[in-house]
Structure 1
């Protein structure tokens, strides 16, 4: 491993960490890592960091180059990969309004035992000219295909600004670029709403679901301690992917229902909107997406809006995304013990059953919303599911 240390950046000191979301405050990027990655080595100025997954032969390398060193992300990525004498295939895409670069590669210099490695790499221009962020995710060549989903998931979970927490990741955007608007229609509270998604949205969202379920399944099938964290990450990345896809839908719903909600609850129209949407979701056609263990049984959010089947987690995720797009603090709760999911809406002053979500301050109480039983109001949950320690929260920043 030391070969690459000196090729790219010189001296390192050892640093260990187990946090799944790694953030560089200096360069303002974050990565929502799959569980189990540890920081092995890091340059003191944070320009280079080496990671290794403690369960898998999966590695990652991050290098931040000065903005003045290169004129484009492609130039930066090619230089990075040339330093490890990699053979590579390159492509470009637009993500976060910047031209980014992606490559598949092979190298003999990344692993300390001299074994050949294969991987994916990406380079992204950081905002405010903080540099070019290059990320390499790789494995020994003989196990690369088995871990390909892990590598793609890692690159797709890079976050460079507040907006990137609420739109599809770099790899998904590259594989499934926007095509054309697709009109959809539905009725909420006697209001006929005509809106649109992109014609690629359902297919792209299914790609994310299948990929992230494969990642989660590794932790679940091996009953690892991080299994439940991986489960939360699965839904968190689905929510992130869906937020921008339903942004116009959310705006059109808000516009159509705003006046009614203001009349219904003049002091808290947000609560009226959340309740109206809960009633709407309770009336969806109920059906599990898949009954086999190797497939996720959640329908994609765009597919639900197009009239597809849904169940508790798909409905809760859909409402969470719509409400958050309407600037209403919301989350979803999942429970393995109850095999169920609930919507959570933060509505201070409203009475009902809540689940507390801790944070660095005092935390928040979220009214629960049951999406599969008809005519239930916010704040009601079955007594048989009332043990709060059996619920995990899925949130977006």
Structure 2
């Protein structure tokens, strides 16, 4: 479970979040992980706290970081998508625990926070810094209970970091605890202040990564159901969960995703470049069509004896350029768009000229004469030339 406590002043905010990781077994038993996990992320101009399923929270933060438009509406859309996926895919999970808080300083230098909860369809509850006092904001596990305690124990004479740590130590020992990460958000920018240990008595059994791995080995058949299956926790690895399959390179960049679905009913294979930026995709829409999208697509063949073949009718929706010779093309003039009408008009003009030529005649009239020799036959008259041939 995760907890966040923030003290919001007009011009700055101090944020604390714990690092405890809790595993809920099918038997109902709860275990505390031995390794810490960060719950608050610095993304662009935002500090973002996420509470809920650990894998989903990391995926939400990663997806929001990749967005060009890091707005409230974009973050809300991502939250709602993962909430629906958790609700439909994890029957033993409690998706109502998925919630978040975003913090930043606006263009006027005033602090602003937005709380997102599934109980109101993730419509943000916004608080702006005010000179009339402070806001104490909580998010995550037992948030309402923690807020009431924090308000009752506020002391403006105590260092804010110490005040927040005292609140965490009061509630630590079970699902909350481990260490505390502190952040400051102000007009100077967002800053990670460091990690401090919490004084607590852990009341849950501790499980190490090796023990967790041993719980997963030795499976020879049957069905394995879980939130995340992966070949490693960092570096080159493959991860599989309800959202699909992902591959990562040695730098931890997601290079290939096979999505199980999306809001548009699309199952897709998505490719990213070495920087993690979108490179293209192969997807299938509900109508059964298969599409390939990218800003730059190259289809090549290393075997020149067996070149690339396109079988079936093909439609080119844009200009086509051939950089080398072309052979084996057989085209009916009537199938060439635009040229057919031009040739038809030309043929009509030729036919008209031929008709005019065939029907054109000339006449010549000569007088009667015998060339001065009376023995010759007199001749003359009108003679016609030309006409049909």
Does TM-score exceed 0.5, indicating one fold? no
TM-score norm. by structure 1 comes to: 0.23
Going by fraction, where is helix more abundant, 1 or 2? 1
Going by fraction, where is strand more abundant, 1 or 2? 2
